[in-house]
Structures are given as C-alpha cells and as structure tokens.
Amino acid sequence: MSAWVPVLIGVIILVAASQALRRLPVKGKSGSFEKRDLLSPAEAKFFHELRGILDPDALIFVKVRIADLLQHSDFGDFRRIAQKHVNFVLARADTLQVFGVIELDDKSHQLSRRKERDAFVDDSLKSAGIPICHVKVGRTYDLQKLSDQIIRDIYNTGAN
C-alpha cells in the first residue's frame, strides 16, 4: 500500500498544478486583449469630411479586406490580397454594390515596399472594375478639391 502513496501525491500535485495554470492569463485568450479605436484620428477626421461631401445614397465602409472585394482563382494572387485592407469602400445604399475605394495615403506610402503594394492593389481593383482614389492625408482638407478628385477618380470612370 505504501507504494501507492507517492503516485497518489503525484496525482494530487498534477491536479492542483493544472487548476492553477487554468487561472493564469494566457496570451491570445479574450482577457488579454484591449479595445482600440476602429480608425486612427487622421482616418476618423477624413471619414467625417468624406461623409459631408458624398451623395447621401452612398455608404462608406471602413477597413475592408481586399479579399472581401475581389476573388481570384489563383491561390498565389489570393494570398497577396488576403491580409490587406483598404481604408474606405464606397457602395450604393440600395444595392450595396461597391463603386469605389478611397485610400488615405500618409508618409508610409512613399516607401518603395509600400509603393509596390499600392501598385498591386490598384491594378487588382482596376482589373475588377473598381476605381480607386488616393488622397494624401492632411490636417485639413479643401472640400471642393477633395470632391473634385473623388468625382474625377471614381464617379467619372463609368463604374458608378
């Protein structure tokens, strides 16, 4: 009977240790996440300006995955877009049909790697018939110039 005592003590220690480990915070569990804002301050400012100049029948969706806008049978091309998103997607309120994309470009868009990414995204969207408008981020926006740029880049392409 004494041979079972060490085994029993070992089992008790294992059970106690596993209970203690369950109570420790584990990276990736919901308790270790923190809430963050959907848009950066610059993106939020632009969003509100955009709402003021777009047709009331246009909806604005933010941070949409490109893979939700495009499909491609080539897995390699899909992988290139799977984790990328665009800042603003414009859609018709009645049909939810996408008619344009707006990218807010900050200083990072001047980096060569980012320029390559932007060119790939632009070409991919254009090949699917979705016009894209790049707007340089600013502290303020000339709403008439912004409106003219959106009309030129999105509405005047025939996609709307």
Please write the tens of the pLDDT for every residue from 19-75.
Answer: 666 666 555 556 678 899 999 999 999 999 999 999 999 999 999 999 999 987 777
Task: With a cut of 70, say whether residue 103 has pLDDT above it.
Answer: yes
Taking Cα atoms as reference points, which of 47, 79, 80, 45 lies closest to residue 63?
A: 47
pTM value is 0.75
Q: What is the rounded CA–CA span in Å between residue 129 and residue 99?
A: 9
Task: With a cut of 80, say whether residue 143 has pLDDT above it.
Answer: yes
Neighbouring-strand partners of residue 104: 135
123: CB partners within 8 A, 6+ apart? none
Please write the tens of the pLDDT for every residue from 43-54.
Answer: 999 999 999 999
Q: What is the rounded CA–CA span in Å between residue 30 and residue 25?
A: 9
Strand-pair category, 85-92 with 132-136: unpaired
What domains are defined for the chain? 41-157 (3.40.1350)
